[in-house]
Amino acid sequence: MTTAADVIRAAAGANAPTPRLGLVLGSGLGGLADAVQDATAIPYAELPGFPVGSVAGHAGRLVLGTLAGTPVVVLQGRAHLYEGIPVSDLAVPVRTVRALGAESIVLTNAAGSLRADVGPGRLMALTDHINMMGVNPLTGINNDTIGPRFVGLGDAYDLPLKRALKAAAVAEGVDLSEGVYLAVGGPSFETPAEIRAFKVLGADAVGMSTVPEVIVARHCGLRVVAVSAITNLAEGLGDEVLTHEHTLASAATASADLQRVLTRFVKDYV
């Protein structure tokens, strides 16, 4: 059976370097893919098993190449649970990053903030997560050649990588806060009562992605670093009306900072 990794290797040619890092670019954050040099770009629709999303602001292509001197594989856009994609299908892009030889993955997303002191346009490095999606991508028969049946998540968010991200942010003069990301299934935004409850649970940011990818990444042995671009204060905490258009517009603001921080992070990645 031809896998997505086979298709990518064939398209990139035998001389393409092995990617060291995968980067998943979330809603409105895909611009970094344009900075990839010697790029081989492949639409997800041409990659076996890849879920194809349908959300505006998500390009839906894989870009293999070099970013700031480091070989990378960039996933420009992702599919989401709320599109009706089975959660197990969300494993394919992350496992493909691993199959291509990467050792770490950088996950980005647009998120709402539960902290009044971290408003729209700010970046938040994830220290941990709370899974309120109600599903787990590892449900079902385990493939022992990929990873173990039971996966520990005590150290899911890699400390040295988070420190390196912080150092990159400092070097770029970008304020990077830290917090716990809570994932919901969406696509409706939360109610004010849900946000109050999530605050009590310990959440700092809320969004509709990333957590399945973190779980799959840890299962297959990828080190994880994740960062949210805060697009809004969560429902009930601000006075904005939450819409997807608003998310995309605010993501664009944070996107310039995020691109600089990630470029520096990738350049200094050891």
**Catalytic (active-site) positions:** 27, 58, 80, 82-83, 110, 208-209, 232, 244
What is the closest distance, in whole angstroms, from the C-beta atom of residue 186 to ligand HPA in the complex? 6
What is the closest distance, in whole angstroms, from the C-beta atom of residue 101 to ligand HPA in the complex? 31
Of the two residues 206 and 226, which places its CB atom closer to ligand HPA in the complex?
Answer: 206
Q: Is the peptide bond before 187 cis (omega within 30 degrees of 0)?
A: yes
Distance CA 236, CA 229 (A): 19
Of the two residues 8 and 133, which places its CB atom closer to ligand HPA in the complex?
Answer: 133
Helix ranges restricted to H, the chain: 4-12, 91-99, 159-171, 192-201, 211-219, 244-267
Residues that bind ligand HPA (CB under 6 A): 110-112, 189-190, 206-208, 231-232, 234, 242, 247
Q: Residue 212 corresponds to which tokens in the numbers above?
A: 């399945």
Pair 112, 234: CB distance under 8 Å? yes
Of the two residues 29 and 234, which places its CB atom closer to ligand HPA in the complex?
Answer: 234
Three-state secondary-structure class, residue 215: helix
The amino acid sitting at 98 is R
What is the closest distance, in whole angstroms, from the C-beta atom of residue 157 to ligand HPA in the complex? 19
Pair 224, 150: CB distance under 8 Å? no
What is the closest distance, in whole angstroms, from the C-beta atom of residue 45 to ligand HPA in the complex? 25
Q: Residue 178 corresponds to which tokens in the numbers above?
A: 């830290």
CA distances from 211 to 68, 108, 222, 235 (A): 27, 11, 14, 20
Of 176, 202, 180, the C-alpha closest to 128 is 180
Of the two residues 105 and 208, which places its CB atom closer to ligand HPA in the complex?
Answer: 208
Pair 247, 120: CB distance under 8 Å? no
Q: Which residue is nearest to ligand HPA (CB)?
A: 112
Distance CA 66, CA 63 (A): 9
Of the two residues 169 and 251, which places its CB atom closer to ligand HPA in the complex?
Answer: 251
What is the closest distance, in whole angstroms, from the C-beta atom of residue 46 to ligand HPA in the complex? 28
